[in-house]
């Protein structure tokens, strides 16, 4: 049931959270009015941290990233620990999620994965300038939700040291998260049978410019370090394209890999999102597009009944189809990464190999697609959510 924002803001001073705010945005709630009420509540110092954190999510949802980050920083000066949900029974799981400041792609969207679950969900923000709590909040299990980027290496070291002094289990050990970096991932999985991960390296601006004279190097894929969602990702086919890219794209360091043409026989590109939960693969979606750079948004699946019919069939047959064909490869990926929860974007090459684009612990997995347009996705996502809740339960009892 959709949360009434008037109740959330006026009668309940707790955090609303990113998921309800996304639902409000999708349902046509006047977000400007909601933002005004949150600002008013923050100015009264009545649970101001919660109001500011919700404002930050609201700004992110509406594309105002700069003001969102500054608002989030204000909230974190007041409070680092936020309760997103309270379990409905005495036996509810107590989950402590470790996040870092950033947008809604900076951390695993745990709130979406636990929709409707009997879980008490507390989120602790850690990072530069944010002290560790003493003692830790009470919990049954800890989930590491942040990306293992270079800027988080000091945090990872602190967490690994701290975790040796607390007895509760941890899901997604922090020391494994840096393996998801594009260059680390390609090196780690290079020898996995049945998998193609294009070799990926880092190159600086002068090095990329020098590459413009090497005709044999093309076509290549280039993106700035730290970019996500296809931001500034480009396929470059020749030297002039490299020079044009550098002239229009900021950044001093880039990821570089060769382009693999993965189109199907009908000329369309198909990209699959899979989530590995405890090593078991679950399909999230199939995106189909005429362009090589495919994501679920730019594929415009909602506009094509034919595409949705194919996706529905793919999801229904996944366990005996795609998932079975690549079961050995997916198990090997899980074993080498050593992570309990990870999302992979991949495709199936004409020769039958699995083409892995990336593996990411913070990619979006949710059930926010319109049920009327995508009726087949709700049941599939409930499988994913149940598997995630099961993973946490098993971890909590040492299973």
Q: Which of 151, 255, 149, 150 is nearest to 207 (CA)?
A: 255
Are the beta carbons of 174 and 144 closer than 8 angstroms?
yes
SS3 state at 354:
strand
Kindly state the DSSP code that residue 127 receives in the 8-state scheme.
B
Q: Tens-of-pLDDT digits for all 399 residues of the chain?
A: 333 433 333 444 578 998 899 888 888 888 889 899 898 888 877 679 999 999 999 999 998 999 999 999 999 999 999 999 888 887 899 999 999 999 888 999 999 999 889 999 999 999 999 999 888 889 999 999 999 999 999 999 999 999 988 788 999 999 999 999 999 999 999 999 999 999 999 999 999 999 999 887 899 999 999 777 778 999 999 999 999 999 999 999 999 999 999 999 999 999 999 999 999 999 999 999 999 999 999 999 999 999 999 999 999 999 999 999 999 999 999 999 999 999 999 999 999 999 999 999 999 999 999 999 999 999 999 999 999 999 999 999 985
Environment class of 332 (CB within 10 Å of its CB; exposed 0-12, middle 13-18, buried 19+): middle
pTM of the model: 0.93
Total count of residues recorded for the chain: 399
Q: And the tokens for 175?
A: 């020391």
Are the beta carbons of 176 and 333 closer than 8 angstroms?
no
Domains of the chain: 1-79 (no CATH), 199-258 (3.30.1490.20), 269-396 (3.30.470)
Count Cβ atoms below 10 Å from residue 86 Cβ, excluding itself.
13
Strands (E), the chain: 81-85, 93-99, 119-125, 141-144, 170-171, 195-196, 200-204, 220-224, 234-236, 253-258, 269-277, 280-289, 341-348, 354-360
Count Cβ atoms below 10 Å from residue 21 Cβ, excluding itself.
23
Q: And the tokens for 373?
A: 């347009």
Distance CA 353, CA 53 (A): 44
Q: Which residues of 286-304 are buried (b: 16+ CB within 10 A; e: fewer)?
A: bbbbeeeebbbeebebeee
Count Cβ atoms below 10 Å from residue 319 Cβ, excluding itself.
15
Q: And the tokens for 392?
A: 């946490």
């Amino acid at each position: 049931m959709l949360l009434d924002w008037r109740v959330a803001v006026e009668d309940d001073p707790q955090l609303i959270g990113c998921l309800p705010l996304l639902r409000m945005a999708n349902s046509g709630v006047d977000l400007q009015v909601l933002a005004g009420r949150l600002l008013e509540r923050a100015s009264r110092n009545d649970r101001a941290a919660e109001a500011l954190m919700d404002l930050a999510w609201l700004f992110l949802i509406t594309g105002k990233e700069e003001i969102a980050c500054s608002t989030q920083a204000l909230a974190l000066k007041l409070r680092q620990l936020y309760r997103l949900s309270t379990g409905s029974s005495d036996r509810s799981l107590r989950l402590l999620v470790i996040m870092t400041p950033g947008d809604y792609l900076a951390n695993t969207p745990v709130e979406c994965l636990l929709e409707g679950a009997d879980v008490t969900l507390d989120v602790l923000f850690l990072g530069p300038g944010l002290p560790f709590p003493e003692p830790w909040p009470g919990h049954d299990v800890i989930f590491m939700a942040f990306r293992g980027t270079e800027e988080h290496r000091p945090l990872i070291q602190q967490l690994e040291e701290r975790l040796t002094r607390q007895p509760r289990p941890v899901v997604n050990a922090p020391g494994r998260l840096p393996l998801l970096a594009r260059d680390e991932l390609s090196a780690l999985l290079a020898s996995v049978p049945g998998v193609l991960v294009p070799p990926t390296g880092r190159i600086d601006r002068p090095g990329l410019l020098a590459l413009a004279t090497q005709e044999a190097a093309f076509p290549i894929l280039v993106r700035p370090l730290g970019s996500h969602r296809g931001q500034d990702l480009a396929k470059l086919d020749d030297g002039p394209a490299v020079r044009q890219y550098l002239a229009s794209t900021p950044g001093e360091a880039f990821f570089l890999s060769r382009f693999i043409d993965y189109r199907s026989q009908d000329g369309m590109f198909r990209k699959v999102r899979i989530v590995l939960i405890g090593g078991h693969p679950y399909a999230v979606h199939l995106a189909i597009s005429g362009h090589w750079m495919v994501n679920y948004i730019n594929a415009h699946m909602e506009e094509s009944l034919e595409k949705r019919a194919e996706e529905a069939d793919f999801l229904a047959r996944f366990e005996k189809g795609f998932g079975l064909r690549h079961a050995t490869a997916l198990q090997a990926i899980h074993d080498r990464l050593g992570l309990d929860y990870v999302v992979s974007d991949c495709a199936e090459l004409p020769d039958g190999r699995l083409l892995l684009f990336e593996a990411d612990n913070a990619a979006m997995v949710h059930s926010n697609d319109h049920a009327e347009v995508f009726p087949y996705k709700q049941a599939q996502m409930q499988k994913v959510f149940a598997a995630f809740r099961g993973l946490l339960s098993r971890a909590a009892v040492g299973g």
